[in-house]
Amino acid sequence: MTMPDIPYPLSRTTFAGLNEEQLAELRRILLDFKFRRVTALADQFVDEKGWTSEDIAGDATSLQRRPYASAHRFKAL
């Protein structure tokens, strides 16, 4: 297993000597950290807006897809 999506300060040399199981555990730790951080930021945003769970659920069910209309029309060459 390689970790091509690791943050820059954590270079590949930092993980030299780790086996596949250790790399998988490290990936789980990093993903858990990212998930908790994104969840906290989303909760903060919702609190700042004063939204409730009902508001969010209502918005999620009321979304309607619209056809894509490009702002730029490409001319045939």
Whole domain around residue 38: which residue ranges?
16-51
68 assigned to some structural domain: no
46 assigned to some structural domain: yes
Return the percent helix, strand and coil in the chain, to nearest 5.
55, 0, 45
pLDDT per position as a tens digit, 14-71: 777 888 898 889 889 999 999 999 999 999 999 999 999 888 888 878 877 777 777 6
Position 48 scores a pLDDT of 95
1 assigned to some structural domain: no
28 assigned to some structural domain: yes
Which secondary-structure segment (H or E) carries 11? none
Which secondary-structure segment (H or E) carries 53? helix 53-62
Question: Does 51 or 3 have the greater pLDDT score?
Answer: 51
Q: How far is CA 67 from CA 62, 70, 73, in A?
A: 16, 10, 15
Q: How many structural domains are present in the chain?
A: 1
8 assigned to some structural domain: no
Give the integer Cα–Cα distance in Å for 37 and 50.
20
40 assigned to some structural domain: yes
Predicted structure pTM score:
0.56
